[in-house]
């Protein structure tokens, strides 16, 4: 697709979350409505696990409760929606951490199942084993909005440089990660990994987090963020419920790539990052 505009307005909805799926979807719907009325974004991004994080709430895509609501909201408001993530009930009763993307016609553009599950044990900090509850996806996901290629990853996926590199190699100008870092790794790495991926690959990195609820079992770090291809933080939220509005200027991607042309200078005679998935982008 040819690029119809170099500017794209994003709205990142950093949402508060509770254990009531219907209330969470309603909250997202009302924040989407306000963002559209006040800011007219082209693309809205929701947080990881914005509806509910548990198997008991899992649903099929695209006919499940949350999918149908996101589809209707995208159509009603004529906007693209990167629908954070939801627990997807997949084949053989497997549950995935899945991001859906909806077009302004209400169609499902793509779904991305988290590739890297968050299995960590940080002494005195956080222990988490996402693979006890969920299965990992196997496919990369690239969408096209107005001629701009955008890669999709989910939370822990951001730590894997090879994935971002493959997206860059496939022509992406932005990577969006719905994510919820925590109070151990958030202060340490949240901004660092975003600026690293942006710097390594000379593209925009966008994250949308849940808002911080200090009474939750898993306390979110917050700070939804847009990092530009110079690896500078263009905009960022604080901890609470907040909407971040950012005008992305895609011409910055080309400027950085021309001025610091690392991709033409790589020694690909000596090393490579190879896509081994069955479904190649």
**Nearest CB to ligand AKG, comparing residues 40 and 129:** 129
Q: Does 115 bind ligand AKG (CB under 6 A)?
A: no
Shortest distance, position 198 Cβ to ligand AKG, whole Å: 16
For residue 271, the tally of other CB atoms under 10 A from its CB is 7
Q: Does 96 bind ligand AKG (CB under 6 A)?
A: no
Give the separation between CA 153 and CA 205, rounded to whole angstroms.
Answer: 10
Choose the stretch contacting ligand AKG; rule: CB under 6 A; options: 16-24, 169-177, 181-189, 205-213.
Answer: 181-189
Exactly one of 88, 155, 191, 252 is catalytic; name it.
Answer: 155
Contact between 140 and 167 under an 8 Å Cβ cutoff? The reply is yes
Choose the stretch contacting ligand AKG; rule: CB under 6 A; options: 25-33, 53-61, 176-184, 267-275.
Answer: 176-184
155 is catalytic: yes
Shortest distance, position 244 Cβ to ligand AKG, whole Å: 20
Q: Does 50 bind ligand AKG (CB under 6 A)?
A: no
Shortest distance, position 227 Cβ to ligand AKG, whole Å: 16
173 is catalytic: no
Q: Does 177 bind ligand AKG (CB under 6 A)?
A: no
Shortest distance, position 75 Cβ to ligand AKG, whole Å: 30
| Interface with ligand AKG (CB under 6 A), residue from 118, 140, 167, 177 | 118
135 is catalytic: no
| Interface with ligand AKG (CB under 6 A), residue from 39, 75, 76, 159 | 159
Q: Does 156 bind ligand AKG (CB under 6 A)?
A: yes
Exactly one of 21, 48, 111, 241 is catalytic; name it.
Answer: 48
- SS3 assignment for the chain: CCCCCCEEEEEEEECCCCCCHHHHHHHHHHHHHHHHHHHCCCEEECCCCCCCCCHHHCECCCCCHHHHHHHHHHHHHCCEEECCCEEEECHHHCEEEEEEEECCCCCEEEEEECCCCCEEECCCCCEEEHHHCCECCCCCEEEEECCEEEEECCHHHHHCHHHHHHHHHCCCCEEEEECCCECCHHHHHHHHHHHHHHHHHCCEEEEECCCCCCCCCCCECCCCEEECCCCCEEEECCCCCEEEEEEEECHHHHHHHHHCCHHHHCCCCCCCCCCCCCCCC
**Nearest CB to ligand AKG, comparing residues 9 and 189:** 189
Exactly one of 114, 172, 173, 252 is catalytic; name it.
Answer: 114
Q: CA angle, 70 as apex, 205 and 115 as ends, to 5°?
A: 45
Shortest distance, position 120 Cβ to ligand AKG, whole Å: 7
Shortest distance, position 185 Cβ to ligand AKG, whole Å: 3
Q: CA angle, 274 as apex, 273 and 280 as ends, to 5°?
A: 135
**Nearest CB to ligand AKG, comparing residues 80 and 118:** 118
Q: Which residues are catalytic?
A: 48, 114, 155
Point out which residues bind ligand AKG (CB under 6 A): 118, 155-156, 159, 180-182, 185, 189
């Amino acid at each position: 697709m040819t690029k119809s505009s170099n500017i794209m307005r994003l709205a990142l909805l950093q949402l508060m979350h509770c254990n009531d799926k219907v209330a969470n979807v309603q909250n997202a719907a009302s924040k989407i409505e306000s963002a559209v009325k006040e800011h007219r974004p082209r693309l809205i991004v929701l947080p990881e696990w914005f509806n509910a994080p548990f198997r008991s709430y899992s649903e099929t895509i695209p006919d499940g409760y949350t999918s149908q609501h996101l589809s209707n909201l995208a159509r009603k408001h004529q906007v693209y929606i990167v629908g954070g993530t939801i627990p997807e009930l997949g084949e053989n009763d497997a549950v995935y951490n899945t991001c859906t993307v909806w077009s302004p016609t209400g169609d499902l553009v793509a779904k991305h199942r988290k590739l890297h599950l968050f299995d960590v044990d940080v002494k005195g900090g956080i222990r988490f084993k996402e693979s006890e509850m969920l299965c990992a996806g196997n496919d990369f996901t690239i969408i096209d909005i107005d001629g701009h290629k955008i890669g999709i990853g989910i939370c822990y996926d951001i730590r894997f440089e090879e994935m971002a590199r493959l997206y860059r190699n496939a022509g992406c100008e932005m990577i969006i990660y719905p994510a919820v870092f925590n109070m151990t790794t958030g202060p340490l790495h949240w901004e660092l990994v975003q600026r690293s991926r942006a710097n390594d690959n000379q593209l925009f990195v966008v994250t949308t987090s849940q808002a911080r609820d200090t009474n939750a079992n898993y306390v979110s770090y917050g700070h939804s963020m847009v990092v530009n291809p110079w690896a500078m933080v263009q905009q960022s939220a604080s901890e609470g419920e907040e909407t971040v509005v950012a005008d992305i200027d895609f011409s910055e991607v080309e400027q950085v790539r021309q001025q610091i042309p690392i991709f033409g200078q790589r020694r690909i005679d000596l090393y490579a990052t190879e896509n081994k998935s069955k479904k190649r982008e």
